Amino acid sequence: MSEQLDIPQWVEQIMDLWEKHHRRALPKELRDLWQTVYRKSAENLKKVERDKLPRWQLAWVEYLTEANERSSKTGINLRIKGSGSRPAWYENLELEVMGAYAATVNFKALMQNRPSQSMAITCGEFVGHEYMIWAVENHALPVALEKANEEYRKAFLGLLEHLRPQRLKMVNKALAIANQQPYKEARQFIRGYYLALDRGTISESGQPVGASYATPIHNVMYCFANFLPRLKNNQELLEWLKLVLGKNQTWSKTSFKRIEKITQRLDLHLCQRGTSDSSTQTVSE
């Protein structure tokens, strides 16, 4: 991205704040809490009777068991995954998720080099987006966690309380850095910052302001991207989504066609096992 866009040094300095934060380890009590959650999940999954499960459900149970066992040893971390070798469908999926959860940040206008957008404005939108998420007055995150089971909810709230002061401190540092820049750039940053505050980030219902019917589907597919190549076709994808999302999503007779449109838009082509299709390549971790 730095090769395509002229990124001012002060903007890179602001973005480095977030990069350094993601390298930090969580406190031991939080790591222990998350490892316990993952360990209990793995133990419960091992109790599932697998003999009569359809192929894709068996693959799902095995995938979750492996993932929870691995996380029970390593714990949760905040590191951003490197780009590595990522298929096109995953890149497309990531853009869809960003479009919903970071709707306050107009990355598209920046990449299209629109005259109305600048790196300073985009940076301001990003910092404003962060403030709106972590502000004490924003009760949307706890609301969004209400449907989670008690153990996961406790772990997420612990993570929220740990991260909130750190993220707000970074927002203040970013504002201080921007305030020291030449008038034009500082003005553009502040404009982007207040645009983000005006648009909002997460509604009182706990849903992102850029959410659509497809947002929960995109989010689940993004979180479990490495499982998707284990599915044979869109019908299995639909059945899997119904299992994962359940009553949190409205399903109808037209759901299959909607799933077809989503996979076409992402350029994701699920195929029979044993065939080689680069569009179902797994995501490197």
Phi and psi at residue 208, in whole multiples of 5°?
-65, 145
**Residue 7 CA from chain centroid, whole number:** 24
pLDDT at res. 143: 74
**Residue at token pair 């951003």:** 80
Q: How confident is the model at residue 249 (pLDDT cuts 50, 70, 90)?
A: confident
pLDDT at res. 69: 94
> Is the per-residue pLDDT at 275 higher than 50?
no
pLDDT digits (tens, 9 = 90+) for 22-57: 777 788 888 898 899 999 999 999 999 999 899 999
pLDDT digits (tens, 9 = 90+) for 133-180: 888 887 777 777 776 778 888 888 888 889 999 999 999 999 999 999
**Residue 135 CA from chain centroid, whole number:** 19
From CA 97, how far away is CA 218, in angstroms rounded?
6
pLDDT digits (tens, 9 = 90+) for 171-223: 999 999 999 999 999 999 999 999 888 887 777 666 777 788 888 999 999 99
Positive or negative torsion for Cα 114, 118, 124, 126 = positive
pLDDT at res. 211: 81
From CA 211, how far away is CA 203, in angstroms rounded?
10
Tokens of 192: 């982007």
Nearest CA to 174 out of 1, 13, 61 is that of: 13
> Is the per-residue pLDDT at 225 higher than 70?
yes
pLDDT at res. 4: 57
Tokens of 154: 């406790």
What type of residue is 120? Answer: A
**Residue at token pair 């380890």:** 25
Return all residues near 165 (Cβ < 8 A) that are at least 6 apart. Answer: none
Asked whether 86 and 284 are in contact (CB, 8 A), the reply is yes
| pTM of this structure | 0.78
> 82 exposed, middle or buried (CB, 10 Å; 0-12, 13-18, 19+)?
exposed
83-88: long-range contacts at Cβ-Cβ below 8 A with a sequence spacing of 24 or more? 84/283, 84/284, 84/285, 85/281, 85/284, 86/283, 86/284, 87/278, 87/279, 87/280, 87/281, 87/282, 87/283, 88/267, 88/279
Q: Give, as one character, the DSSP assignment of residue 182.
A: -
pLDDT at res. 166: 92
pLDDT digits (tens, 9 = 90+) for 84-100: 568 899 989 988 888 88
C-alpha angle with apex 279: 277 to 283, nearest 5 degrees?
Answer: 110
| Side-chain-facing half-sphere of 36: CA atoms under 13 Å | 12
